Amino acid sequence: MANRVETVVYDIVKAVREVLSRHDVTFEEYRAGVGFLMQYAKAPEYEIPLVCDLWFNATITDNEMKHRKGSTTNVEGPYFLENVPVINDEIKTLDDGSEPLVLEGRVTDLAGKPIKGAEMFVWHSDNHGHYSGFDPELPQDSYRGKKIIGADGEYRIRTRVPAPYPIPHHGPSGKLLEMMGRHPWRPAHVHFKIRAPGFLEHTTQSYFTGGKWVDSDCVEGVRPALIHNLEDANGAKVLRKDFKLDPA
């Protein structure tokens, strides 16, 4: 009896063989493809995870949603940090020229009961598409934080509107996108990760209606349920997002 590794790997090999046959790939094209893959051996170590996330990460999160009934999950991305400041109602940001943004909503179980004590991690880019903890010019405690959810399940966090940004595209992954005639840009988004005892960890992203690149995200991670209207209120944009967590 085949084990799971054999089953999955062989199906991948079979699918690639079918593509090679369907498109009548020549030996010269095949060798050129192998040569291109060898560029990853000389590239920075993040390039292999980058290209895997580029094509496959969103599919894995879709697979997870087949077994969940709560809010839609999404890709985590490479910029999550565990050790971040606990915040009350505001994330530390810099005066980067972006508009104020208020994040608000509730964290509940599937029945709508508030989940007191849930940990909500929030992180996003600055107005130039850079992330703290990875850009040395940004304070590490900026543009990210952890909110402890109260008894009513509600949260309200003030921050700033993030910007779209390109994934690293000066290596082989970017070259591959260029050869395909595709761009390396991700639409502006806010990351969330929520943890609570007795519930599955919930990781997702929120995108903005009408945002640039929303319809052509290079990692194909945007899902309709994750596109939100930004309302105007008291001189700030407001993103309303409720979370329903699945039991563990």
Tell whether 155 is covered by a domain: yes
> What is the sign of the dihedral through the CA atoms of 82, 88, 89 and 94?
negative
Read off the pLDDT of residues 89-101 as tens digits, 9 standing for 90 and up. 999 999 989 999 9
Structure tokens at 137: 């010019």
> Residue 1: which pLDDT band, with cuts at 50, 70 and 90?
low
Which residues constitute the domain of residue 174? 61-245
Triad 184, 187, 188: Cα angle to 5°: 130
Read off the pLDDT of residues 140-197 as tens digits, 9 standing for 90 and up. 999 999 999 999 999 999 999 999 999 999 999 999 999 999 999 999 999 999 999 9
> What's the CA gap between 124 and 163, in Å, rounded?
9
Number of domains in the chain: 1
Tell whether 150 is covered by a domain: yes
Of 145, 247, 130, nearest in space to 192 by CA: 145
Tell whether 225 is covered by a domain: yes
* 224 class by beta-carbon count within 10 Å (0-12 exposed, 13-18 middle, 19+ buried): exposed
Tell whether 21 is covered by a domain: no
* 19 class by beta-carbon count within 10 Å (0-12 exposed, 13-18 middle, 19+ buried): exposed
Cut 0.85: pTM above it: yes
Residue 214 DSSP symbol: G
**CATH number, domain containing residue 218:** 2.60.130.10
Tell whether 67 is covered by a domain: yes
Tell whether 197 is covered by a domain: yes
